[in-house]
Amino acid sequence: MTQISHTQVAHTQVAIIGAGPAGLLLSHILFQAGVDSVILETRSREAVESTIRAGVLEQGTVELMRSLGVGARMDKEGACHEGFELRFAGRSVRIDLSALTGKTITVYPQHEVIKDLIAARLAHGGAIHFEVSATEIHDISGDTPYVTYRHREENHQLQCDFIAGCDGFHGVARRAIPAAKLRSYEHVYPFGWLGILCHAAPSSHELIYAQHEQGFALVSTRSPEVQRMYLQCDPHDDINTWSDDRIWASLRERLATHDGWEPKPGPIFQKNIVAMRSFVCETMQHGRLFLAGDAAHIVPPTGAKGLNLAAGDVSLLGRGIIAFYKGGATQALSSYSEVALRRVWQAQRFSWWMTSMMHRFPNADAFQQRMQIAELDTVSSSRAASQALAEQYVGLPFA
């Protein structure tokens, strides 16, 4: 590293903006093929590793983790689920993923995935710079793009061949694309999720998705001692109006079945409200800049597709970059947006459909509510409909 005008200058083959699942997975994929990368992250390592997100991994994501040599703890501590429950009108119907598709999903929290990826990347000498600031992307239309940023009170310039924007919806990567070139779509849902973590025994060994006239509810698990549950709410609600007693009463009401089943309560030690939206930026590449993960698309959490879409993106992008360095091939990189978007829009459709089927919409009339029940009845009574749901839920093959 040399110093020019008080700016530390370095070179790598791929500059990766963001140490979330997309950026970290991409760095591992490239490392396996001998392609150098540097990851730049605005947050501290502690902040990155403590961000709580959903933890449903499609089989394709699980297999990718294993192939990268970072799946040992996932296989030991993650819970392999062969199905999940749909609850509506006091009934409970199991969707047998394994029987319908031959595949499963694994429940393993995203922050644990992050921990595994960071630890393995650093153990192999990978470069991850945490707590960088003033990050800017330059010259992406030419052959010599670069990134400038501040780290440890010094100015840095990272020269590279490609830039991977994996820095989330609010990151700098997408904003580096000229506004005239951007093409994006967004849908905001009129409700949010109130999520809790509680100390309790598992209420169920598989996920439960419940549709109720008072709103949606979801039962998940994080460990034998910690459970994750969600309630549909107004996204503008004050979390302080949701007392523990109110939360448990709502969960019991929305999850009730004719046989008297109730969730197992316990002390709530974390609760928050998140809004829900769908977003797709169809301009996933411009020049030498490529977007992946939340930088390019957001899905409502009902379909559990966020992390899995990121894994699909970087699996495709990684292959394209590797092909370039191995023999100069550019076709895979040129078609990255086109190919990735087919999977992205399929996941958006599924997430929108699950969200629309399971949630109570403001001002929905009695007819619309009955249509939701009819849709759930069709899904649960028709093998073809159940199989279509199951195929989407376990995940489409990575392109």
Angle between helices 21-32 and 110-123 (to 10 degrees): 40
Same domain, yes or no, for 240 and 298?
no
Same domain, yes or no, for 285 and 270?
no
Same domain, yes or no, for 28 and 68?
yes
Instruction: Say how far apart CA 54 and CA 124 lie, in whole Å.
Output: 27
Residues forming the active site? 81, 209, 301, 305, 393
Same domain, yes or no, for 224 and 244?
yes
The per-residue pLDDT for 3 is 45
In a domain, 96, yes or no: no
Beta strand pairing call for 226-233 and 2-4 = unpaired
In a domain, 229, yes or no: yes
Instruction: Say how far apart CA 114 and CA 116 lie, in whole Å.
Output: 5
Does residue 93 contact residue 208 with C-beta atoms inside 8 Å? no
Same domain, yes or no, for 291 and 143?
yes
Cα–Cα–Cα angle for 16, 21, 25, nearest 5°? 65
The per-residue pLDDT for 55 is 84
Same domain, yes or no, for 176 and 200?
no
> Domain residues for 217?
189-276+361-394
In a domain, 236, yes or no: yes
Q: What is the CATH number of the domain that holds 20?
A: 3.50.50.60
Sign of CA dihedral 270, 274, 280, 286: negative
By CB neighbour count within 10 A (0-12 exposed, 13-18 middle, 19+ buried), where does 345 fall? middle
Same domain, yes or no, for 57 and 131?
yes
Q: Is 147 helix (H, G, I), strand (E, B) or coil?
A: strand
Instruction: State the total domains in the chain.
Output: 2
In a domain, 347, yes or no: yes
Instruction: Say how far apart CA 236 and CA 275 lie, in whole Å.
Output: 8
Residue type, 382: S
In a domain, 100, yes or no: no
Could you identify the residue written with the tokens 């073809």?
A: 384
Same domain, yes or no, for 55 and 115?
yes
pTM (predicted TM-score): 0.94
Residue 132 C-alpha from the chain's centroid: 23
Same domain, yes or no, for 24 and 63?
yes
Same domain, yes or no, for 320 and 193?
no
DSSP 131: S
The per-residue pLDDT for 126 is 95
Separation of first and last alpha carbons in the chain: 38
Q: What is the CATH number of the domain that holds 265?
A: 3.30.9.10
The per-residue pLDDT for 5 is 53
In a domain, 212, yes or no: yes
Strand order in the sheet with 289-291: 127-129, 37-40, 14-17, 162-165, 289-291, 285-286
Closest by CA to 73, choosing from 223, 218, 220, is 223
pLDDT in tens, the chain (399 residues): 444 458 999 999 999 999 999 999 999 999 999 999 999 999 999 999 987 777 899 999 999 999 999 999 999 999 999 999 999 999 999 999 999 999 999 999 899 999 999 999 999 999 999 999 999 999 999 999 999 999 999 999 999 999 999 999 999 999 999 999 999 999 999 999 999 999 999 999 999 999 999 999 999 988 889 899 999 999 999 999 999 999 999 999 999 999 989 999 999 999 999 999 999 999 999 999 999 999 999 999 998 999 999 999 999 999 999 999 999 999 999 999 999 999 999 999 999 999 999 999 998 999 999 999 999 999 999 999 999 999 999 999 887
Same domain, yes or no, for 25 and 72?
yes
Instruction: Say how far apart CA 310 and CA 292 lie, in whole Å.
Output: 6
Same domain, yes or no, for 48 and 197?
no
DSSP 330: -
In a domain, 42, yes or no: yes
In a domain, 98, yes or no: no
Q: Is 25 helix (H, G, I), strand (E, B) or coil?
A: helix
